[in-house]
């Protein structure tokens, strides 16, 4: 592996930034999204569409000259027909915050015995310099999924978002009750990063081998 590749993480979510710093450490040099770059409206109907919207927006803001990684993720609850899904960050309203989103999910799910859910993460990596004439960038997509159940009350202070109510399949603890490293080993984000790295194998991304 060559020198770490600088990559701008196109997110304002501090929880995600912390996880990417751990997950990408050896291969990429993680850089924050400059304050001058705004974040776009997430108008897509899928995680992939929104990840691409965020990645392209940041890529353009940075002049198309820097590698950019965007993450669109969320929780899909079986008994709620997959909701909140792409609406996970704004489930209880724009700017409502993690505690309000968790409270709304617990309230909606209260009558249901079926507590199955899954976290989904789609990553969009944009690299400067396409391969064909007129092709301005190279685009790589990767997805990761983590199956589990929604607990009836929050437990733990780690992680972010819905972690205190999400218990991965086969676990006794929620994602907020374990170390970051334990979460990374199974998480939708950890799996998406592993998939992305597989897709990049053979590409001239990491410099000389
Ligand atoms: P950016 O768009 O700036 O990246 P965001 O928080 O708005 O930040 P998303 O639109 O992708 O990001 O929404 C993802 C939401 O899904 C996030 O706010 C959490 O509520 C939830 N979520 C995603 N990954 C999670 C994880 O690992 N643990 C707990 N909740 C998670």
Domain definitions of the chain by residue range: 5-207
CATH 1.20.1250.20 fits 5-207, yes or no: no
Angle subtended by helix axes 188-200 and 14-24, to nearest 10: 50
Whole-number Å distance, alpha carbon 121 to ligand 1 midpoint, is: 9
Q: What is the predicted pLDDT for the residue at 105? A: 98
Whole-number Å distance, alpha carbon 60 to ligand 1 midpoint, is: 22
Whole-number Å distance, alpha carbon 1 to ligand 1 midpoint, is: 30
Q: What is the predicted pLDDT for the residue at 205? A: 73
Write the DSSP symbol of residue 131. S
Q: What is the predicted pLDDT for the residue at 185? A: 98
3-state SS, 139-191, equals EEEEEEEEEEEECCCCCCCCCCCCHHHEEECCCCCCHHHCCHHHHHHHCHHHH
State the Cα–Cα distance between residues 166 and 176, nearest whole angstrom: 8
Half-sphere exposure of 105 (CA within 13 A, CB side): 38
Q: What is the predicted pLDDT for the residue at 178? A: 98
Are 67 and 3 contacting, i.e. CB atoms less than 8 angstroms apart? no
- Which residues of the chain, if any, have pLDDT below 70? 1, 130-136, 206-209
In testing the pocket of ligand 1, which one of 73, 99, 119, 121 has its CB within 8 Å of the most ligand atoms?
A: 73
Q: What is the predicted pLDDT for the residue at 150? A: 98
| Model pTM score | 0.95
Closest ligand 1 atom to 166 CA? 29
Closest ligand 1 atom to 183 CA? 27
Q: What is the predicted pLDDT for the residue at 165? A: 98
Q: What is the predicted pLDDT for the residue at 45? A: 96
Closest ligand 1 atom to 98 CA? 20
- DSSP strand pairing (166-168 vs 137-150): antiparallel
- Positions annotated as catalytic residues are 72
Q: What is the predicted pLDDT for the residue at 44? A: 97
């Amino acid at each position: 592996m060559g020198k770490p590749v600088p990559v701008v993480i196109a997110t304002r979510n501090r929880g995600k930034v912390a996880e990417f710093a751990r997950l990408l450490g050896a291969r990429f040099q993680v850089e924050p999204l400059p304050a001058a770059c705004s974040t776009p409206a997430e108008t897509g109907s899928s995680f992939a569409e929104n990840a691409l919207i965020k990645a392209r927006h940041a890529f353009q803001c940075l002049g198309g000259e820097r590698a950019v990684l965007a993450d669109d993720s969320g929780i899909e609850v079986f008994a709620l027909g997959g909701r909140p899904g792409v609406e996970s960050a704004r489930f209880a309203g724009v700017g409502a915050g993690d505690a309000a989103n968790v409270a709304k999910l617990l309230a909606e799910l209260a009558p249901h015995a079926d507590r199955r859910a899954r976290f989904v993460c789609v990553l969009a990596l944009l690299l400067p310099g396409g391969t064909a004439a007129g092709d301005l960038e190279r685009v790589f997509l990767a997805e990761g999924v983590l199956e589990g159940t929604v607990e009836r009350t929050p437990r733990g202070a780690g992680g972010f978002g819905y972690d205190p109510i999400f218990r991965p399949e086969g676990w006794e603890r929620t994602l907020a009750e374990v170390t970051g490293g334990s979460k990374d080993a199974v998480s939708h984000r950890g799996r998406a990063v592993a998939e992305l790295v597989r897709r990049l194998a053979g590409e001239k991304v990491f410099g000389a081998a």
